[in-house]
Amino acid sequence: MGEGRPPVSVVVPTRGRPGLLRQCVAALEAQTVPVEIVVVEDVEGRGPAWARNEGVRRARGEIVCFTDDDCVPAPGWAEALTAPIASGAGQASTGPVPVGQGATAADRAWEAIVGYLQRQAGAPGTASPGFAITANLATRRQLLQQLPFDESFPAAAGEDRDWGERAFRAGAAARFVPGAIVVHRSGMGARDFIRQQYRYGRGAARYRSACEDRRPGSPSFYLGLLRAAFRAGPAPGLLVTAAQLATFAGGLAINARGGARR
């Protein structure tokens, strides 16, 4: 690592995807700065929030990065992502998560949603203030000790929104670094995408029930999301339209149980 730069750890939660994990680890081993790789296998199904917190407990770096086992960080990712933190320009940073070659329409729909949420992270009326996707996130260890991930979220749905907003409210919103790229490789089909969005709806209901101040986004926010999706193509646009119904249904399922966190 360059002289004067703090040590960096990368936490990778995983569960039952060894082939994808190997690709992720190989990309991390090829970074332009040395990183400590901390893989946390969630064998008991405690959820990604627990896995990230466990990774932080094991990590030795002053800066901790996060990515997912179905992601491939580009060369130079860790160096670019941690630069604002190492220089003192911020406490957290995030970057783009494009889909890889051979992406399905569902992948492109997912990409459109994530990209839109990232662009709207600081805008009035957003549904996710401070949104920072945990597939591409770096923070100072001290911030994570002050703001650990909420382990009451049982699945990969809403726990990153929750952390991002808490960081935003604490004055530590993640800085966006365009050159810190992580490629997402899922290859999911339309049915898997809709199921994912239903799960996200359940996570969104838990997210809002965790704090009285949290509200759904404004109508213009959701219209902007649909426009962004259709710019990615007719198929992604239609899938994101269907996804809004799926997330609504997921939210209703949780609210019918009284907003239970589990």
Neighbouring CB atoms inside 10 A of 219's CB total: 9
In a domain, 165, yes or no: yes
CA pair distance 250, 52, nearest whole angstrom: 24
225 closest CA partner among 107, 105, 94, 119: 119
| pLDDT one digit per residue (tens) for the chain, 262 residues | 445 567 999 999 999 889 999 999 999 999 999 999 999 998 988 889 999 999 999 999 999 999 999 999 999 999 999 999 999 999 999 999 999 888 999 999 999 999 999 999 988 878 888 999 999 999 999 999 999 999 987 777 678 888 999 999 999 999 999 999 999 988 899 999 999 888 888 877 777 777 777 777 788 988 999 999 999 999 999 999 998 888 878 777 766 565 444 4
Q: Structural domain tally of the chain?
A: 1
CA pair distance 136, 237, nearest whole angstrom: 24
In a domain, 29, yes or no: yes
Q: What is the pLDDT of residue 256?
A: 59
CA pair distance 262, 238, nearest whole angstrom: 30
In a domain, 57, yes or no: yes
CA pair distance 100, 72, nearest whole angstrom: 9
If you write DSSP's letter for every residue of 37-93 in order, what string do you get?
EEEEE-TT---HHHHHHHHHHH---SEEEE--TTEEEPTTHHHHHHHHHHTTS-SEE
In a domain, 108, yes or no: yes
Rg of the Cα trace of the chain?
17
The domain spanning residue 54 has which CATH number? 3.90.550.10
Whole-prediction pTM: 0.88
Range of the domain at 176: 8-188
Starting at the edge strand that comes first in sequence, how are the strands of the sheet with 137-140 ordered?
Answer: 36-41, 8-14, 63-66, 137-140, 92-94, 175-176
In a domain, 139, yes or no: yes
157 closest CA partner among 239, 253, 242, 93: 253
In a domain, 209, yes or no: no
In a domain, 164, yes or no: yes
In a domain, 256, yes or no: no
CA pair distance 253, 247, nearest whole angstrom: 10
CA pair distance 151, 52, nearest whole angstrom: 9
What residues form DSSP beta bridges with 140? 63
Q: How far is CA 144 from CA 7, 61, 64, 174, 182, in A?
A: 16, 12, 9, 13, 21
203's tokens = 């996570």
